[in-house]
A and B are shown apart, each in its own frame.
Chain A
Amino acid sequence: MAPLLDVRGLKISIPTHGGLLNPVRGVDLSVDRGETLAIVGESGCGKSMTAQAILGLLPRNARLSAERVAFDGQSLIGLPIRQWRKIRGRRIAMIFQDPMTAFDPCYRMGDQMAEIVRWHRPASANPRAIADMLARVGISAPDERLGQYPHQLSGGLRQRMMIATALLCQPDLIIADEPTTALDVTIQAQILKLLADLQAETSVGLVLITHDLGVVAGIADRIAVMYGGEVVEAGAAEAILGAPRHPYTQGLLDCIPTPGETGRRAALGYIPGVVPRPLGELTACNFLERCARAEAVCRQRPVALSGLPDGRAVRCRLVADGRALAIHEPGREAQPA
């Protein structure tokens, strides 16, 4: 059965005065119904842009090219705006990072939610259905909340209302772009659990974008790790979190202390260096300058994604060559450069 969302070879470039920027350099993704795909990476790795590209929301001067961007069999490339209006919200809904600014401050919450729902699912646009959904996402006193303005609500409440709005449209796929980054840690956990529960109920597809690996565990079925505009490792969540193969993924996991295992004086792992500017074309492995295991062969040419026998994909010359890289052990001190 074809996946719900199928993205192959997605490239985004932005011409600037200083040259051609390539924030996304060829990304492959796929999500099925009822499945959660987590896209993980640092700021600037191109994950938000990928999400915006799927919904056709890139800035005007950005150029998109892809082998395939298909949603439920339909291609999303070069859609006229009229077609987009039937897909955005109705079939694919997006939840944004900053609940503070996602809603219009001039209108009441109820009016804004009703406006969106009435546009896509008029049958659900009655106050009763909306209030029910608010209750379902864990908001008490829903009628009162609907009469308030956005600035009168807390971030957690606003995010819940954003999720409720998305669900009221009954989409097939939800893309959540860093939905919990702007929230307190305790609220984070609640929102994530909410998303997981709702997915189990409605079998909506979920793409969860985050920079925080900790968020991903427990909710993701599959993970795609992005770095510098490329997917560097992709596969089943448990496999990747348990035994990461790409040095970057290993580095990310090293940064997280493991309760009960990390010793008191053990240094937390870190990845030296900064994310490179996405300028021009690659001539070698993108992670080269920050990789502890880099060798001469990594400098020769850009690295392609290669499949591993367990169904994973890794973008590393050394792993592809079958060189035995030490299996990652949590809590171990990082290797010196």
Chain B
Amino acid sequence: MSAIVDQGTDMAAPAAGALEARHRVLSPGRLAIRRAVSHSGFWLGGVTLAVILIAIIFAPLVTGADPSTQDLSLRLAPPIWHAEGAWAHPLGTDHLGRDYLALLLYGGRISLLIGVLTILISTLIGVTLGVAAGYFGGTVDLVVNFILTVRLTLPVVLVALVAVAVLGQSLPLLVLVIGGLMWDRLVIVTRATTQQLAARDFIIAARALGASTPRIFLRELLPNITAPLIVVCTLELARAILLESTLSFLGLGVLPPLTSWGLMIAEAKSQFLFRPWLIAIPGVALAALVLAINLLGDALRDITSPDGKA
């Protein structure tokens, strides 16, 4: 009889003597860290993003120049890798004689700031709607689904353009418009995750123990939504930055005297045949930033998914 008990309680361990290797079981946190460390996308995206963030945040340290100082005698100076380039303006100057490196870094701040703020707003909207739909189901779910369908039917870029044209082009308004339009994927993911969680035993147990709904939301649901939420937020941040750059490119985004990478590209459009670097520099920066965020988001998705990469 004892043979059964011994074997039965330790199913994971192989029969002693017959086999050699054992395998340890890791906690989810340590498993995630280990996966992250060995994921090439995580490193590539993370390092690139870190470099860009540091350069942008510590802009005054990187370049002493002021992005708004105009020097019309030095307009359209080429960057350092050209024959006539000078270290005074390592990336050259724009059509108003402003230092391009400074414009790039300070413009990056604006792009990033708008991106982060928009995601905060869309997350607020998206999570609220998604959790409500996933948890309560029924009529609430139908209503949220209808709102989602209406939002999906609207052409985002067109509506954003009209909204900005009609409501004005201040920065807070820009953030509100973009944030108010980009919550669809957040709703979808939050709703799906909440639905799965709500059916699981620990939620039912909490209800049976008499926990109030807000308490269940805060203590049980939200901590378990965080992982997929972070993944979606990261990927949506990339899309938000792209949308802002598109609006700025069309002239209905950030306005001078502020600058953003989309605006820089728009202003350089007429020059691109003779001075391609004016577009290439902010273009590469924009692509690099969004690429880094996308890589990081994909890596996070791989790391937090229960079965790893496909």
**Residues of A252-288 contacting chain B, CB below 8 A:** 272-274, 276-277, 279-286, 288
Of the candidates A18, A288, A337, the one whose C-beta lies within 8 Å of that of B17 is: A288
Q: Which of A18, A274, A285, A289 has the most CB of B within 10 A?
A: A289
Distance between Cα atoms of A331 and B134 in the complex (Å): 57
Are the C-beta atoms of B4 and A273 separated by less than 8 Å? yes
Are the C-beta atoms of A18 and B20 separated by less than 8 Å? no
Are the C-beta atoms of B17 and A299 separated by less than 8 Å? yes
Q: Does B15 contact A (CB under 8 A)?
A: yes
Of the candidates A272, A277, A336, the one whose C-beta lies within 8 Å of that of B19 is: A277
Q: Which residues of A have CB within 8 Å of B17?
A: 283-284, 288-289, 299
Are the C-beta atoms of A336 and B1 separated by less than 8 Å? yes
Are the C-beta atoms of A18 and B15 separated by less than 8 Å? no
Are the C-beta atoms of B21 and A18 separated by less than 8 Å? yes
Distance between Cα atoms of A283 and B7 in the complex (Å): 19
**Residues of A163-194 contacting chain B, CB below 8 A:** none
Query: What's the least CB distance linking B298 to chain A, in Å?
Result: 22
Distance between Cα atoms of A337 and B5 in the complex (Å): 12
Instruction: Give the contact-size bracket for chain A.
Output: 20 to 34
Q: Which residues of A have CB within 8 Å of B3?
A: 272-273, 289, 337
- Please name the residue on chain A nearest to B3 by beta carbon: A337
Are the C-beta atoms of B18 and A284 separated by less than 8 Å? yes
Query: What's the least CB distance linking B307 to chain A, in Å?
Result: 14
Q: Does B83 contact A (CB under 8 A)?
A: no
Q: Does B73 contact A (CB under 8 A)?
A: no
Q: Does A19 contact B (CB under 8 A)?
A: yes
Are the C-beta atoms of B19 and A279 separated by less than 8 Å? yes
Q: Which residues of A have CB within 8 Å of B20?
A: 279-281, 283
Of the candidates A272, A277, A285, A337, the one whose C-beta lies within 8 Å of that of B14 is: A277
Are the C-beta atoms of A280 and B19 separated by less than 8 Å? yes
Q: Which residues of B have CB within 8 Å of A19?
A: 21, 23
Q: Which residues of A have CB within 8 Å of B4?
A: 272-273, 337
Q: Does B166 contact A (CB under 8 A)?
A: no
Q: Which residues of A have CB within 8 Å of B23?
A: 18-19
Interface residues of B (CB under 8 A from A): 1-4, 7, 11, 14-21, 23
Interface residues of A (CB under 8 A from B): 18-19, 272-274, 276-277, 279-286, 288-290, 299, 336-337
